[in-house]
Amino acid sequence: MRSFSTFLITVAAIALLISALLYLSPWRKELYEEYAVREMVPPDRRETVADSLLAVATRHFNHHKYEKAAAELDKVVALEPDMEYARYYRGLAQLENNRLAEARADLEALWNEGSHYKHSCAFFIALSYLKGKNGAEARVWLNRIPEGTPEYPKAQRLLQEMK
């Protein structure tokens, strides 16, 4: 009878350990890291000074040198203030640099202007709030992404994961 009790205690301990591992999920990335942008794809454009700067910014961004990427994108925006692409990626670079207010300034401006990047901006604004530990505001922005947009499925997935 004693060996059966020992067996039950061992099984219960293993079950508890497995449950704790599943609950804590130490191998799982933070939600922000799971959804963050990893690559900047250069647009097809003409050969200008801004294009040269964009090429440099792209290299920096794709090598995770976001501070340098943001600095190059600042130069592009100074040359072409209406270039949505540069403002969008500058916002993403600032987000990666933990400059959340600056990131939101670029992304919210594009959102308010009805940019081509509007719904993507909403998603990354939500991520900025998630990164800043403000889940309530992140949910507000995720819920602004309409069904039928490319960002909608991942916004819904993120909302589910945030529960």
Count of the separate structural domains present in the chain: 1
Domain that holds residue 152: 29-162
Distance in angstroms (rounded) separating the CA atoms of residues 52 and 66: 17
- CATH of residue 93's domain is 1.25.40.10
In a domain, 63, yes or no: yes
Confidence of residue 39 (pLDDT cuts 50, 70, 90): confident
In a domain, 47, yes or no: yes
Mean pLDDT, residues 16-40 taken together: 62
pLDDT of residue 26: 47
In a domain, 35, yes or no: yes
pLDDT of residue 138: 95
Tokens (6 digits) for 42: 């250069």
In a domain, 23, yes or no: no
57 HSE (CA, 13 A, CB side): 29
Mean pLDDT, residues 13-37 taken together: 63
In a domain, 127, yes or no: yes
Distance in angstroms (rounded) separating the CA atoms of residues 37 and 126: 13
Mean pLDDT, residues 131-142 taken together: 94
Buried b (16+ CB within 10 A) or exposed e, 39-56: ebeeeeeeeeebbebbeb
More confident residue, 68 or 4: 68
More confident residue, 126 or 26: 126
pLDDT of residue 27: 42
Mean pLDDT, residues 117-129 taken together: 96
Tokens (6 digits) for 60: 């920096």
Confidence of residue 19 (pLDDT cuts 50, 70, 90): low
Distance in angstroms (rounded) separating the CA atoms of residues 109 and 119: 12
